[in-house]
Structure 1
Amino acid sequence: MVEALYLRIKQDIIAQIQEGKLQPGELIATEKELAQRYGVSQITSKQALNLLAAEGYVERLRGKGTFVKDTHPTVIVDSYKQDKSTLDAVALILPSMKTRIDQRLLDGIENYCRQAELNILVSISRESAFEESKAIERFRNSGVRGFIIFPVEQESYSDAILRLSLDRYPMVLIDRYLKEIKAYSVSSNNMGGVHTAITKLLERGHKQIAYISPEITNTATDERAKGYEQAFVDYGLSIDKSLWCMLSLQEIESGNSPGKVKQFLQEHPHITAVFTVNAYLAEVVRRALHEAGQTHIIHSTFDDVEHVFAYVRQQEDEVCRTAVSLLTEQLAGKYEPRREFIDVSYFELEPERFEKEIL
């Protein structure tokens, strides 16, 4: 697997710090300079610097630049119970850093935590429930004041998350909801977003709409599937589940999903439109359609990605602001668990293609 460019930049800077080439307090290259040096966009270089700041390697000062921090991040973790400043630390656990959504969440949460004068420590679970649980226990034992967690894709929540909830440990879940257990969470309007996207396709005459998604293992995938179903019900049409390509978590994790998607599209030549439920599957489908010469098929997706016909855009910044607000509410001693929904928007990138409807 090719390493993400922002991770390469991050690791190069960490290596320079560890080798002494960059000293504590030293000003490092700007976003623009790093972008030019590595041949990437400033968004990518900014992400690398934000991640370094979140992990405690550097400090970013508005209007002044990015400086190497005096204290190594492992020292910060080890000194939670001795250093008063670390009493304001909270933990952020994300499943990956592969998509722009992941990067926006990290950037936004770091920004709002900084505004709330909260230090933030980050762990990437890499879609592993085991690593997620280890990170929770590690941070909890270190004395962090609270958690913001984007849980991994799985059928049930980890025991570590359940314990946080039962112990009323300050915690906010992103894009997931603990059914029948009291917890704070913030989610995009998953059902409404998919309902709008599918309705737009139906209004243009598309009835053979493929639905490509991970297996329904959590509230997010469940709500997005219900959005598809409700759009057909509202339109007075029956739902053809043979047009659903549901991928197991094992298929996705092992890298077998592209092959299954290609086979599915070949076996359903009458499909005129495809809806994918996330950015990863959108890229898988985009490549499959291109390789099969099926670029005439309309492609709509949840999350904004390039080279699609239309997409549902989440308000990641508002998700981040709300998540930090819900966490600070708990840190202030208030405990009123609830789920907050954030509106989404629908965008069509190539409206002229609707004039070439395939009925």
Structure 2
Amino acid sequence: MKNEPLYQQIKNKIKEQIQSGKLRVGDRVPSEKELTEKFHVSQITTKNALAGLAEEGIVERIKGKGTFVCESSLTTSIRQPNKPKGLIGLILPSMKTRIEQEFVNNIEKYVSQTGHNLIIKITRESQFEEADAIEMFREMDVKGMIIFPTEKETYNDAVLRLTLDKFPFVLIDRYMENILTYSVTSENEAGTYEAISYLINKGHKNIGLISPIITNTVTHERARGFENAFLKRKTTINKNLWLTLSFNEIAQSKTPKLIRDFLLNKPEMTAVFTMNAELALYTHLAISSLKKEIGRKIELLTFDPLGISGISFIKQDIAECSKKTVELLLEQIEGTYKPKRIYVPVELKISESVEILETIIT
């Protein structure tokens, strides 16, 4: 109401966001400063609004961290309701990496907000399991599927059939290059281009690449970004510094030794870029195993955080990828079928104390 005090109007706006599900239990509420800028009011007004919500038990104010939606009669009433709208199937190759776990967490959050329930099937990198999961979900009459394809050279025929049937589904992380489907992926090419440009600008000329065999859209785009960083500077690329590993060579029992041998045989290499965090970990292990030998420095940079301080990486926006994926799936469930490919920006995160891994190479 226009006659209400300004702080009360702001309180009501925040309550509306909670009631609509836009803000859920545990979510951070905009700060006093953010609300001041948004509503063009004084900070005293926004402070009173948040204080009022806290008094009603709707939010909790934590000093030094912010204001968060907490369990209350308001939030409890939101989550009870209506009968679930149906099931959404999520198929992914594993849940062993932090990235995959983040995808599951965010996808479940956004699916839940639509009123659907999420069920998950892990394929363990098997296309047979992937096909069985698709068939199982169809028999369960799911409303739609989100598929994180297995890391193989070709796409599953079962995925192609979903396309032909116009069954609601979205591919996440990669897409089918010659077949138009709904898909959401990160800006792999642009992110890799920025990362390699950063290394070149630092003076690195001999930059290695460690990658799975380059067969799918993710590896193709990242390889292209690597190449373009050199081509746009009219600098020669030494592809003898590229190590591509077959899928059965990527394992903790094999990969570190393969990378170690590769590094020993490339004494000119001063930096290395890995396609993903798993290969970055194996590269880090390989480099560490060489520390006692006489040699040189190698800078490691990777796609996705490795979880080891001092190593720079390209950060994907998993929350935005997940949100866009659910939005595209809902669009199909509601009757619209206009396949599209969405690219979500990434960010190069340079460590404040870049760890130059010292390796002694004979």
Aligned to 2:160: 162
**Could you tell me how far apart the structure 1 residues matched to 2:83 and 2:140 are?**
13
Structure 2 partner of 1:272? 270
Matches within 5 A, 1:315-330: 315-330=317-332
Deviates more, 1:134-143 or 1:198-207: 134-143
Shift of 1:177: 1.2
2:252 touches 2:282 (CA, 8 Å); kept in 1? no
Q: Distance in 1 between matches of 2:71 and 2:251?
A: 42
Measure, in 2, the Cα distance between the counterparts of 1:177 and 1:287.
32
In structure 1, the residue matched to 2:170 is: 172
Q: Where does residue 316 of structure 2 map in the other structure?
A: 314
Contact 1:97 1:103 in 2 (8 A): yes
What is residue 287 of structure 1 aligned with on the other side?
Answer: 285
Q: How many angstroms does 1:336 deviate by?
A: 0.5
Contact kept in structure 2, 1:211 and 1:276, CA below 8 Å: yes
* Residue 222 (structure 1) aligns with: 220
How far the C-alpha of 1:306 sits from its partner, in A, is: 2.4
Match of 1:334 in 2: 336
Match of 1:299 in 2: 300
Cα distance between partner residues in 1 of 2:105 and 2:296? 34
Q: CA deviation at 1:86?
A: 6.7
> Following the alignment from structure 1 to structure 2, what is the Cα–Cα distance between the partners of residues 206 and 212?
16
Query: Which of 247, 250, 253 lines up with 1:252 in the alignment?
Result: 250
Q: Structure 2 CA distance, aligned partners of 1:229 and 1:209?
A: 11
Partner of 1:56: none
User: Structure 1 stretches (4+) deviating beyond 4 angstroms?
Assistant: 84-87, 351-354
Cα pair 1:127 1:152 within 8 Å, conserved: yes
SS, match of residue 296 in structure 1: strand
- Count of aligned residue pairs for this structure pair: 276
Letter in 2 for 1:206: H
* CA offset digits 1:207-256 (Å, max 9, x no partner): 11000000011100000000000000011111111000000012115842
Helix, strand or coil at the partner of 1:137: helix
| Distance change (3 Å), C-alpha of 1:137 and 1:185 | same
The residue type equivalent to 1:323 in the other structure is T
Paired residue type of 1:318: E
TM (normalized to structure 2)?
0.73
CA-based RMSD of the aligned residues comes to: 2.1
**Contact preservation (8 Å) 2:211, 2:245:** yes
Query: What is the CA-CA distance between 1:181 and the residue it aligns to?
Result: 1.5
In 1: Cα distance, 2:140 partner to 2:234 partner:
55
Look up the match of 1:138. 136
Distance 1:316 1:98, change over 3 A: same
Q: Is the 8 A contact 2:84 2:115 kept in 1?
A: no
CA distance in 2 between partners of 1:327 and 1:96 (Å): 21
- 1:333/1:253 CA distance change after superposition, 3 Å: farther
Q: Which runs of 5+ in 2 are unaligned?
A: 1-69, 73-81
Residues 60-139 of structure 1 aligned to structure 2 (within 5 Å)? 63=71, 88-139=86-137
* Structure of higher CA gyration radius: 2
The Cα shift of 1:266 comes to: 1.1
Q: 1:139 to 1:277 in 2, by over 3 A?
A: same
SS at match of 1:284: helix
Report the counterpart of residue 349 of structure 1 in structure 2. 351
Partner of 1:13 in structure 2? none
Bigger Cα displacement from structure 2, 141-150 vs 343-352: 343-352
Letter in 2 for 1:303: D
Q: CA deviation at 1:63?
A: 2.9
Does the residue aligned with 2:170 lie in a helix, a strand or coil? strand
- CA spacing shift, 1:329–1:295, aligned 2, 3 Å: farther
Change (3 A) 1:353 1:86: closer
Whole-Å separation in 1 of the counterparts to 2:162 and 2:149:
13
Deviations 1:306-345 (A, max 9, x none): 2353110000000000000000000010001010000000
Find the aligned partners of 1:325 and 1:263 in 2 and give their Cα distance.
46
Give the distance between the partners of 1:351 and 1:232, measured in 2 at CA: 26
Q: Secondary structure at the match of 1:143?
A: coil
